[in-house]
Amino acid sequence: MPQATHEGVLRFGTIEIEVAVLDNGQRVITQSGFLLGLGRIRLPKGRQPYRSGANLPAFLTVQGLKPFIGEDLVRMANLIEFRTKQGVKAYGYAPNFLSEVCDVFARAQHAGVLKATQHNIASRAQIIAEQFGRSSTMRLIDQATSYQETRETQTRRNTCRREE
C-alpha cells in the first residue's frame, strides 16, 4: 500500500482540503478533505454503488445530478487506498476528480436543477474551480505539501548526472 511522504492542505479562502503525495509520486486529495472541502459535514459510513459498481460519493448519486455525470467521472471515483505519514490507513481521490466534481455542480447550477440543499456545495465548488482555473491541481498539491522542493531537488540531481 502506498505511503504518504508529503502532506498538506489546499486553501481556498476559508475552504481547506487535505492532500498528500505518495511514495510512488501519485498525488491525492484525501477523501475526508474532499468531502469537508465541499461542505459535507458527515464523513461516509458506507457507500452505495452508482453505475456498474462505481463508488461515487453519496451526494453525487442524487437523481438531479445524473445527467451531468459522465463515464470519465465515474472512472475517476475509484478510491486510492494509502497510509498517512503516521501510518494510518486512509483513502483519497485522484487530483482531477475534485475539479471534475466542481464542473458537475457548475453545469447543474447553470441548468437550474440544484436543490436548496446543494447550493452550498455549488458555492464552494465555484470557489475551488476558480482557483483551479489559475493553476493545475498537481501544482497546487505540490505547493501545499512542499513537494515541489523535493521534485526540484530530484530534477537538479538528474540534470547533474546527465552532465557528468
- The mean pLDDT value for 85-103 works out to 93
**In this model, does residue 100 exceed pLDDT 50?**
yes
What average pLDDT does range 77-86 have in this prediction?
A: 93
Q: How far is CA 97 from CA 11, 13, 68, 85, 143, in A?
A: 17, 20, 14, 23, 18
pTM (2 decimals)? 0.80
Q: Which pLDDT belongs to residue 46?
A: 46
Query: Where in 13-133 does DSSP place strands (E)?
Result: 15-22, 27-30, 80-83, 89-93
The Cα–Cα gap between 129 and 96 comes to 11
Report the pLDDT value the prediction gives residue 15, as an integer from 0 to 100.
93
Give the separation between CA 63 and CA 111, rounded to whole angstroms: 14
Q: How many CB atoms lie within 10 A of CB 8?
A: 19
Q: How far apart are the first and last CA of the chain?
A: 36
Query: What does the block give as the cell for 129?
Result: 474551480
Q: Is the pLDDT of residue 59 over 90?
A: no
Whether the per-residue pLDDT at 138 is higher than 90: the answer is: no
Q: Which three cell numbers stand for residue 164?
A: 557528468
Q: What is the DSSP letter of 62?
A: S
Phi and psi based region of residue 13 (left: phi greater than 0; alpha: psi -120 to 50; beta: remaining): left
